[in-house]
Chain A
Amino acid sequence: MKNSHRTQKIAFFFLLSATLLIVVPVGLIVVIIIQKGLPAINWQFLSDIPRQGMRAGGIFPAIIGTVYLVTGAIIFALPIGLLAAIYLSEYSKDNLLNRVIKLAIVNLAGVPSVVYGLFGLALFVIFFKFGASILSGSLTLGIMILPIVITTSREALESVPQSFREVSLSLGASKWQTIRHIVLPNAIPGILTGTILGLGRAAGETAPILFTVAAFYLPQLPASIFDQAMALPYHLYVISTQVPNVDEKIRYGTAFVLLALVLFMNLVAIIIRYKFRKNKKW
Chain B
Amino acid sequence: MVKFRIRKLDILFGTAYALKQIDLDIRSNEILSIIGPSNSGKTTFLRMLNRLNELNSNIKISGEAQLDGKDIKDIDIELLRRKIGMVFALPLPLPLSIFDNVAYGIRMSGESDKKVIKESVEDALKRAYLWEEVKDRLNDSAFKLSGGQQQRLCIARTLAVGPDVILFDEPCSGLDPISTAKVEDAMVKLKEKYTIVLVTNNVKQAARVGDRTAFFLNGELVELDKTEKIFTAPKDKRTEDYIRGKFG
The smallest C-beta distance from A282 to any residue of chain B, in angstroms, reads 7
Interface centre among B82, B86, B94 (most CB of A within 10 A): B94
**In B130-179, which residues have CB < 8 Å from any A CB?**
141, 143, 154, 157-158, 161
Q: How large is the interface on B (under 10, 10 to 19, 20 to 34, 35 or more residues)?
A: 20 to 34
Q: How far is the CA of A282 from the CA of B95 in the complex (A)?
A: 8
Q: A282: nearest residue on chain B (CB-CB)?
A: B95
Inter-subunit contact B95/A170 (CB<8 Å): no
Inter-subunit contact B108/A173 (CB<8 Å): yes
Inter-subunit contact A171/B108 (CB<8 Å): yes
User: What chain A residues lie within 8 Å of B82 (beta carbons)?
Assistant: 171-172
State whether the Cβ of B36 lies closer than 8 Å to any Cβ in chain A. Answer: no
Inter-subunit contact A170/B55 (CB<8 Å): no
Interface centre among A93, A174, A186, A281 (most CB of B within 10 A): A281
**Contact partner, B105, options A166, A173, A182, Cβ 8 Å:** A173
Q: How far is the CA of A169 from the CA of B161 in the complex (A)?
A: 12
Q: How far is the CA of A93 from the CA of B58 in the complex (A)?
A: 11
State whether the Cβ of A42 lies closer than 8 Å to any Cβ in chain B. Answer: no
Inter-subunit contact A281/B52 (CB<8 Å): no
Interface centre among A93, A165, A167, A173 (most CB of B within 10 A): A167
Interface centre among A166, A171, A181 (most CB of B within 10 A): A171
Q: How far is the CA of A168 from the CA of B158 in the complex (A)?
A: 11
Which residues of A are at the interface with B, using a C-beta cutoff of 8 A? 93, 163-174, 177, 181-182, 186, 281-282
Inter-subunit contact B104/A281 (CB<8 Å): no
Known A-B contacts A163-B88, A177-B108, A181-B108; A171 and B95 likewise in contact (beta carbons under 8 Å): no
Q: B141: nearest residue on chain A (CB-CB)?
A: A281
Inter-subunit contact B94/A170 (CB<8 Å): no
User: What chain A residues lie within 8 Å of B158 (beta carbons)?
Assistant: 170-171
Inter-subunit contact A174/B78 (CB<8 Å): yes
Q: How far is the CA of A169 from the CA of B78 in the complex (A)?
A: 8
Inter-subunit contact A172/B95 (CB<8 Å): no
Q: B109: nearest residue on chain A (CB-CB)?
A: A172
User: What chain A residues lie within 8 Å of B52 (beta carbons)?
Assistant: 166, 169-170
User: What chain B residues lie within 8 Å of A172 (beta carbons)?
Assistant: 78-79, 81-82, 105, 108-109, 161
